[in-house]
Every structure is written in C-alpha cells, then in structure tokens.
Structure 1
Amino acid sequence: MIRDISGWTIRLDPEEVAARRAGGVWRGRTIADDARALAEAAPGRTCVRAGDEALTYGEALARAERLAAGLWRLGLRPGDVVSFQLPNWLEAVVVDLAAALLGLVVNPIVPIYRHAEVAQILADCRARAVLVPETDRGFAYGAMMRDLAAGLPDLAHVVVLRGTGGLAGTVAYEDLAAEDGPVPWPAQRPEAVKLVMYTSGTTGRPKGVLHTHETMPRSLRCCVEHWGIAPGDVVLMPSPVTHITGYGWGLEMPFYHGLEAVLMERWQADEAVALIDRHGASVTVGATPFLAELVEAGERAGSRLASLKVFACGGAAVSPGLVRRANGLFARGRACRVYGSTEAPMVTLGFVGPGSADLAADTDGRIVDYAVAVVDEAGAPAAPGREGEILVSGASLFVGYADAAETRAAFTADGRFRMGDIGYLTGEGAVVITGRKKDLIIRGGENISAKEIEDALHRHPAVREAAVVAMPHPRLVETVCAYVIPREGAVPALPALAEHLARLGLARQKVPEHLEIVGAFPRTASGKIRKDVLRAQIAARLAERSGDA
C-alpha cells in the first residue's frame, strides 16, 4: 500500500510496480507521452470523430496544451481532481489529455446524473474543478453546478462549455482553452492515480474506483492483441465516454494504439449501421440493447457490417440466441460475450476464433490476463463446474476505492477482488455468470443501486417499507420495480413516488417503472427480505400478462 500524490491510499508497492515494468506487463509511460509521440509522427491523422467534427493528433495535443495552461492558471496542480460531465463531444478528449499533461486525476460523471448524485460524487472525490455543458438535451448543467458549488468547499471552479458566456459564477471553456502561457510541465508518474470513476454501490453510496496510468492501458492492450485489432482500425463508440467502456475505447484507445474513434453522442441503431459502413469500423463494445438493435437495423438496411472484426457485448445479461443471430448477420461472424466491471475491465475477452461460435454465444468469454477463482460460501475453491463467488486478480485491476474501508471490504485476505457475481469456470478457460451477490439492477448496462432508491422511497410519508428489485424489460434487459408496504390509511401511487424521487435529485433512470403494493414481504428466518422471491414474482406476473396479450 502506498500513499498516492492525490492523497488516496492505493494497493500498490514499489516492488510490484518495478516487477511489472521489468516484465513488460506495464508500460512505464502515460497517455501524455503517447499523445506527444503521435502528434510528432502523424500530426494530420484523424484520431477522433464526433458528428461532423474531427480531431487530428496534432490538433488534440495543441488544444490539450492550451486547456492545460488554463487549468494551471486556475491553480490546479498534480494530484488535484478535475471532474467532467460531458456528452460524447470532442472536448472530452481534450479534457482527458490536458489532465494527463498536468498529472491531474480525471473524474468522469455520467450525464444522466442530477443534483443528488453529482453533489455526492464531487464531495467524495474533492474535485477542484468541474466541466459541464451550459445546457444539453434541455437540462441546465451549468446552473446545477453553480448551485451545488456553494455546498462543496473543495470545488473552486465551474467551467461551462458551449454556452453564451453569461452564466454568473462560472468560467467559459472557450476562454480557458485559449490560454497560451508557459506551463512547467510536471514529470510524469505512470504509477499515479489518473482516474476516479464512480459506480453504484450496494450500500446506496457511489464508490470511487481508482485506476492508474498503467491499469487501463493493460486492459486495452489485451483486447487489441486478443482480437487482432491494428493501428488504423476504427472504433465505433456509442457508450458514454463517462463509462469505463466509452472512456477507455473512445478517449484513450486512439492514443494507446493508434486507432480512430468515432463517437456517437446518442445511440441510434440505423445511424450506427451507416457509421460502421461509412468509416469501415472494425470494433465496438456495448451493452445488450446496442447489439440487439444493431442487428435489427442491419437487417433493415440489408447490411452485413462487413468491416466489423468484433462486437464485444457485456454489461448486462446477453442471451446466447442474440449472439447467434448477430453472427448470422455479421459477415465476419465475430459477436461475442465479455465480462468485467469498472473495477476489473475485461476480465474475459470473447471467443472469436475459428470453431468458437458456441463458446462465443454460451459463455461470458475466455479468461485473458487475469487470475480467476470460484469459491464457495466458506471461501474454499468450488469444484469444477460448480457455482460460486468470482474472485479476480491481475495487472488491469483497479488499485482501490476512494474510501479505504470499501477497499478493505472488497478484497480477500490474499489480495483477490470480490466481483460480486456468481458463476462457474468451464474446461475451455471460460467464465459463465449465473447470478450476482450485489444488490444491483443493471438497466441497459447501467448499474443502479437498489438501496439508494429504497432509502429515497422511505422518505415519502406514505411509505412504511420499500424493497426495490430488478424486473425483466424487453429492450433494457432489466429495469426497476418497487414493492411498497404503505403506511396505514395511505395508498401511494407511482406518479407521486416518481415526483418524490425527482425532487430528491435522483436521475430519471432510477425511477421505478412498476409499483407493487403489498401487505408484507417474504423474509428469511433472520428477517432479511427475500428479494429473489420478489424478483421471481414480478417476472412471473409480467410473463403472465405477456401471455394474456
């Protein structure tokens, strides 16, 4: 364990760092080094596209250096946290590079989050600056941040993008990014924390996942080598760049491996087909709805998406039938399931070789680079083919949470990370996930904490007790169902509960889509709510209604 320049205690020691670099497992460089090398070698080559805009390697570095000068003038120094809540815009590329040039820690925040989630994240990571659109999709991010800043003593600067320049108490991005003053560029420290990304916790409190300049590139390098991705290949990235997948593949992969990224600001399947065919996209990584809708759109357009080398699908349950259908359409037949998390990116990589069609569809991928174990309730190794808890370790693994207590709870005594999922290993070196220990709902690939919604529901005067569970959804795979025991004489309705959650500042994706009023919950002998029973009940009810229809 060492104390990082950011102030966080992380699960590294100097001998481990030296050994991994000596063995070639870690690179000993940062994305800032890569950006400078590519700007010198290929300044006019496109690295990222977004809509009708494109950014070359030379332009990316020049803009990042100017923004870094502006951030330096604001007083940001190595180890400080700069947050951004941005759509898939080219400015996100510039922010990420500028932070790396200065040795700052970036904190991407998903755009769907609102006051409650954003305030909690900014306070927890002690962000010194935050960059947001003035408005986007009808929501006033700049005004939200200005209002939140009064309660965030560490937050010194709110930077607004694509605005009118008239929002009091904020700094215009265009002014900040026009700086051209000298900067005493700090020495690069590849073992330092470079990313803190928040994921929903089972306690209802988001957890800050810490990655260094070494961990994420290791994961991406394994993908490139396993799937045969080469410099000049094109990535289509529809996932938000504020998610681990979009961040790695959309913002960082162009600089680590010379790939061109095509960012989609919002998912639209017909547009995705057109972009893949127009740009010759080789690879994309996305959640289940993306794959299902891409297949339907490809069939409508009469396109077999011939350039795709791989579509890696994960983040939520992926049916074998969907993978088989995709591989019946794709000319190269290389759709596959993968498994990982923000903490452990790409624990498995999909089967894409000859004769691997069944493994690609029926398993959650081949273990590459990680050590994976399955243990029973007592922590002993599970028998081959038997279900148990998934434990992992490896060079791509995160180095801890922002909260040291959460780090201690997440690792076994011998240093293996508890993924929170249940599954088994196959004789082919594959993982099959069969369930989860974490009390999370995975809505279209987005992790949602059940407890966070329950805590908010319990603040409604008509709710005596609430239990939130996942329920099946035809497009998103899972969505939110609330079971409520009402207070005596009260009959809470879903619209009123939805309005209550919105007032508390929760993102709309966390609002239950279905409400069940009950008199009691099924419980264990110790009094714990049997959520497995509640999930089964709502699944059966929905199936019955579907049959009636």
Structure 2
Amino acid sequence: MTWISATGVVLRDLVPAALRREWVRSGHCPDRDLYSLFRDRVREQPTRPAVIDDEGTLTYLVLDAAVRELAARLEAAGCGPADIVGVREPAGRAAVLAELAVLAVGAVVLPVPPGSDELLDRAGVRFVIGNGRIAGAAKFRRGAGSGRPHPEAPARILVSSGSESEPKMVAYSHNAFAGGRANYLRAVHGTTSVPRDLVLVQPTSGFGSFGVPVTLCCLGGTLIVTRWFEPGAALRSISEHRPTHVFAVPTMWRRMVEHPAEVDTGGLAAIVSSGDTLPPSTLAACRERFSVPMIDIYGSSDGVNCHTTTPENGVGVPDPAVCEIRISDGEICARGPMTPLCYVAAPELDAAYRLDGGWVRSGDNGRFDDLGRLQVTGRRKRVVIRGGYTISPAEVERAIGDHPAVKEVACVPVPDTELGERLCASVTVRNGHPPSLSELTAFLAARGVATPKLPEFLVVLPELPIGRTGKVCYRTLTRLAARRCGQ
C-alpha cells in the first residue's frame, strides 16, 4: 500500500501485503480504524472514566463530545484524511483530545516533542494543534472524504527518543496499533479486565504512545496521565488513583523507589519498565517496595517488542501476535503485526534498517537460549572504540551499578587523539560520598571487568541529564564529558 499526503509525503508499506492479510485472517489485527474502535468503547461504556489528569476526570462520553467538536473545527479549516497533523500539546487531556480528533477526521497524528519543530517541515505538516488552537491554513480545502480510513493506512507517527542520535519518525498503520501493539499490551495486562494505566512517560515517546490508540481505543480502560514526572507526585498518583499498571523508564523507577513518600499499592497488579536497560539493583528495589511483578519490555519505536517478568533470565519469548524475532548475522530483527510501514521522509533509514520481506533491524545484538528466551547481548551502535578495542558501555554500567556508593550511572565516549575514544563513567552517588576513579576501577577489576574496558574518566553529577522521554540523554552526557575530560 502507498499513501501520499496532501503535501506530497509518500509513505509506503514495506511489509508484503500478503503478510498483512494473513495477520488479519489469523485474528492478530482487527481490520478497523482506531477512531471507529474508540466509538465502540463510547457506546459500550459512556460513563466509565476515560482520562484522569491533573485537571480531573473525563468520561468516555464527555471526552468524545469534545473530540467531535475539535474534529469539526479541523474539517472546517480544510484538514482531511490526506493530512499529517502535528500535535503540540502537553501530556494530559489536551493531548488525548487532539490525537483522537485527528483520528476522527481520518488524518495522521504526529506528536511533536518540545524543541522538535523541524519534524513538522520534514513531515509536510499543514496543521498543528497547540494550546487548544488549530494553526495553519490549507492552500486548498479537502473535505473529510467518504468512509473511514483503510486499516492499513497510516494512523500515527512515532518519534524515536533521540537519546543517542537524531530522532527518527516511524509511520504506523491503524492495524499495527490496534493489532500488534494492542496485543502486547493485553499480554502485559494479563487477567486485568479493565486496565487503569498510569503512564509516566510522555505520549510523544514510542513507549508512551499506546495510551490513546490502545488503552482507550482498543481496551476501553482508563488512562491516567500527568504533565511532568516528579517521583513524589507519581507515588501520590499511585495511592490516589489506584492504577492497575504503572509505566515508567528505569531512571523514573530508581527515583521513585528512593523517594521517602508513603505509597498505597493496593490497586497495583504489576509495574512496567521499558525504554532502557533495567539495572538489577533497580529491579530488586522495585520488587521490594511495590510488592508486585515488574514487567520489563524490550522494544523500540522501530517495531521490536518482547517482554518478561523475569528480566534476569533474558527479555522474554517472542509472541507471534506481536512480532516474530530472528537473529540475522548476530543482530535482532523483527517482523509481525506491529511492524511499522516505513520511516517518514527518510529513504536512507529505510535502506539501512528495513530488510526484504518486511523485517526490521533493531541495531541490537542478541541470541536465543535453550528455552527460547531472547538474550540481548549489546547495542551495535552504542559502543566505545578504544584503540581498536570495542567496549560495550552497557556492560560496564551494569557492573558499576553494583557499587554501593553509586546511585545512577551512564558511560559515554570521550574523543582522544591517540586512541580515538576513551570511556568516561558519569555517576550520581548516595550520601554525597563518591568513589575515586581508582577505587571504582579496582571495584570493577575485582568483579572481572577486563582492563581495556575500565573507565579512564569519572564525572560525578548531582543528577544525570534526562531527555524528553525520561531516559538518560547520552548525547548531552557525551558533550558534557568531552568538555570536562577531553583533550
């Protein structure tokens, strides 16, 4: 299938059409557009809470009335199913309302992270919703068209975190969200019939993107969102709103477990981590504090997903209702009902990351163990090359994380004229007593870390810099380390 926007942006489905049809026949995809599914939920449960945010609660019926009003304004402005619409609203009801309104007119949603306005030009956006207003005017008007969007047409564009490189835009169809992504969330929810999802990550992130398309449109649950993450406020939300599931990245979980506020976990069925490697110390602390299973999701905005409640034994067994996974030349590759259409306005990324037959390259190395569990052995891109020796920063981070004085850690390269790169460990510490570099390297050597992998610089920070998704921003750290430690 090929879709062309009103401004000429071409989105081609790089998965063979026969595979897409097979996933529908197998029941993995509902073959419906997202707003039609949402309208089913409104008819079934009009008085159920749909959204809880800092302003209060909206029921499904009240939310849909506001959605239809905004959708009518979009259509009156000339927006239609051939448009990609930028959504520049903060997390909360405004963002939910805008996303659903775009889906209601059959257009494509592009959530715009703060400071990423360049994405609007790249995606050929004519209309932007922000502060409840519609900005932009059509050079020519297009009506809403007849009928609903094709289920394999684009519905939402995910924006990668950009923590290690520039953000990528990835186009997903209605079926990919209502099928593969919804299937993984159903598995995460387990036996919970009506989920109440507290999503602490931003809805502009790949991890946080499920809220509207899945929790609301597919599952008919309650979506609990907050504008900004703050550990004390997050714990209060758990106590007050009694979510069944809480979604956060490892940095957020570490800060929550170390916050002194009391928390009532009586409503929790499980807590969920994704977006970055979950350190064993954080996993243990979360299990102790919240007394529910921790579900660790290995995934990306590129269409890779696997999850488990025992991350100490790998990242889980792939679910064919979500995506199948194979190892190709040591690299993890995925293909299945959640596979995206293509990258947006970036043929070079399609050439680099999409393989024949619809497969997507993850950029991660991995293997399967004897029980069929996927083991991620390291990033292909996030490495430090020291004099020709390849170092995995994640491996060193895991070892440093066991040091009793270290609270958080991230390792980044520092340019070096002699060796090309050297490794810098950036840490935050407990009780204000950081280890010296020699103490830290002795600790690592005693635990079997090879000498060429030992960090040669140490930067102690009050907090690690966090990007918009709540993950550590390695780009910011790399610049900081280069300034402090570079030649």
Call closer, same or farther: CA 1:86–1:48 in 2, change over 3 Å. same
Task: Report deviation, 1:229.
Answer: 4.8
Give the letter for the 2:76 counterpart.
Answer: R
Equivalent pair of 1:479/1:513 in contact (CA under 8 Å): no
Q: Which has the higher contact order (CA 8 A, sep 6+)?
A: 2
Task: Report deviation, 1:304.
Answer: 6.2
Write out aligned runs for 1:56-95 (5 A).
Answer: 56-95=59-98
Residue 213 of structure 2 is aligned to residue 214 of structure 1: no
Call closer, same or farther: CA 1:398–1:327 in 2, change over 3 Å. same
What is the TM-score when the length of structure 2 is the normalising length?
0.74
Query: What stretches of structure 1 of length at least 5 have no aligned partner?
Result: 135-141, 147-154, 158-181, 352-358, 380-387, 442-468, 486-507, 520-549
Task: Report deviation, 1:348.
Answer: 0.9
Residue 337 of structure 2 is aligned to residue 395 of structure 1: yes
Residue 58 of structure 2 is aligned to residue 55 of structure 1: yes
Equivalent pair of 1:374/1:423 in contact (CA under 8 Å): yes
Write out aligned runs for 1:122-271 (5 A).
Answer: 122-133=120-131, 156=137, 186-199=147-160, 205-217=166-178, 218-249=180-211, 252-271=214-233
Equivalent pair of 1:337/1:361 in contact (CA under 8 Å): no
Residue 376 of structure 2 is aligned to residue 409 of structure 1: no
Q: 1:286 aligns with which of 244, 248, 253?
A: 248
Task: Report deviation, 1:67.
Answer: 0.8
CA RMSD of aligned residues (A): 3.3
Q: In structure 1, what is the Cα distance between the partners aligned to 2:474 and 2:333?
A: 30
Q: 2:303 aligns with which of 344, 348, 369?
A: 344
Task: Report deviation, 1:417.
Answer: 1.3
Task: Report deviation, 1:85.
Answer: 2.3
Call closer, same or farther: CA 1:41–1:185 in 2, change over 3 Å. farther
What is the TM-score when the length of structure 1 is the normalising length?
0.66
Task: Report deviation, 1:287.
Answer: 0.8
1:405-432 alpha-carbon deviations (Å, 9 max, x no partner):
4213212334421100122222333222
Q: 2:315 aligns with which of 349, 364, 386?
A: 364
Q: In structure 1, what is the Cα distance between the partners aligned to 2:213 and 2:174?
A: 13
Give the letter for the 1:319 counterpart.
Answer: P
Q: In structure 1, what is the Cα distance between the partners aligned to 2:172 and 2:15?
A: 11
Residue 237 of structure 2 is aligned to residue 295 of structure 1: no
Task: Report deviation, 1:439.
Answer: 4.4
Call closer, same or farther: CA 1:200–1:440 in 2, change over 3 Å. farther
Q: 1:514 aligns with which of 452, 472, 481?
A: 481
Task: Report deviation, 1:82.
Answer: 0.4
1:476-528 alpha-carbon deviations (Å, 9 max, x no partner):
6537665377xxxxxxxxxxxxxxxxxxxxxx985433235545xxxxxxxxx
Q: Determine helix, strand or coil for the equivalent of 2:349.
A: helix
Call closer, same or farther: CA 1:314–1:268 in 2, change over 3 Å. same
1:426-470 alpha-carbon deviations (Å, 9 max, x no partner):
2333222232112499xxxxxxxxxxxxxxxxxxxxxxxxxxx99
Call closer, same or farther: CA 1:478–1:128 in 2, change over 3 Å. farther
Q: In structure 1, what is the Cα distance between the partners aligned to 2:209 and 2:104?
A: 17
1:267-302 alpha-carbon deviations (Å, 9 max, x no partner):
1222222211222211122210121122223xx345
Equivalent pair of 1:103/1:186 in contact (CA under 8 Å): no
Q: In structure 2, what is the Cα distance between the partners aligned to 1:517 and 1:259?
A: 49
Call closer, same or farther: CA 1:4–1:477 in 2, change over 3 Å. farther
Q: In structure 1, what is the Cα distance between the partners aligned to 2:475 and 2:130?
A: 22
Equivalent pair of 1:209/1:342 in contact (CA under 8 Å): yes
